[in-house]
């Protein structure tokens, strides 16, 4: 991590689009785990996730990118097939 001497003037961010580098995933205390046996590929998790964590894979199943998942549980709550379970995050 940067020292105070290396910060840009006024803590300005000089690289556009760099917010995607911010790892929101390390706030997480619970992680969503999808049971693809139950999943109906409706995409509700993808739509509701406030951090755009889910992406569809080639088979059409939605997979989470844990770099950004902050463990809020919205996806598990909204999944109509009850395919998502929140499990405790292990360090």
Partner 1 sequence: MAKRIGIEVSLAVSEAVKLADVDVIAAYPITPQTHIVEHLSELVADGELDAEFIPVESEHSAMSTCCGSAAAGARTFTATSSQGLALMLEICYIAPALRLPIVMAVANRSLSAPISIWNDHSDLMASRDTGWIQTVAENGQEAFDLILHAFRVAEDHRVLLPVIVNMDGFTLTHVIEPIEILSQEEVARYLPPYSARMRLDTAKPVTMGPVGVPEVYTEAKKAQDEALKAARPVILEAWEEFGKHFGRYYKPVETYCTEGAETLLITMGSIGETAMSAVDAMRSQGKKVGLVRLRLWRPFPFTEFLEAVKGVKYLAVVDRALGLNGAGGPLATEIKAALYDEEERPYIWNYVAGLAGRDVTVENFVEMADGVEAAAADNLKSDYTIINVRE
Structure tokens at 45: 């998790």
* End-to-end CA gap in the chain: 21
Residue window 12-51: x/- pattern of binding to partner 1, with contact defined by CB under 8 A: xxx-x-----x-----------------------------
Of 25 and 32, CB closest to partner 1: 25
**Residue 40 near ligand SF4 by CB under 6 A:** yes
Stretch touching ligand SF4 by CB under 6 A, among 4-12, 13-21, 76-84: 76-84
Return the number of other C-beta atoms located less than 10 Å from residue 72's C-beta. Answer: 18
Counting beta carbons within 10 angstroms of the beta carbon of residue 44, is it exposed (0 to 12), middle (13 to 18) or buried (19 or more)?
buried
The residues that touch partner 1, with contacts defined as CB under 8 A, are 1-5, 7-14, 16, 22
């Amino acid at each position: 991590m940067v020292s105070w001497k290396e910060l840009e003037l006024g803590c300005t961010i000089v690289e556009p689009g760099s917010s995607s580098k911010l790892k929101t995933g390390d706030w997480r205390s619970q992680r969503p785990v999808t049971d693809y046996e139950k999943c109906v590929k409706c995409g509700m998790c993808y739509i509701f996730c406030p951090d755009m964590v889910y992406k569809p894979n080639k088979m059409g199943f939605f997979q989470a990118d844990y770099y950004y998942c902050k463990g809020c549980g919205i996806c598990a709550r909204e999944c109509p097939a009850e395919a998502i379970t929140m499990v405790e995050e292990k360090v």
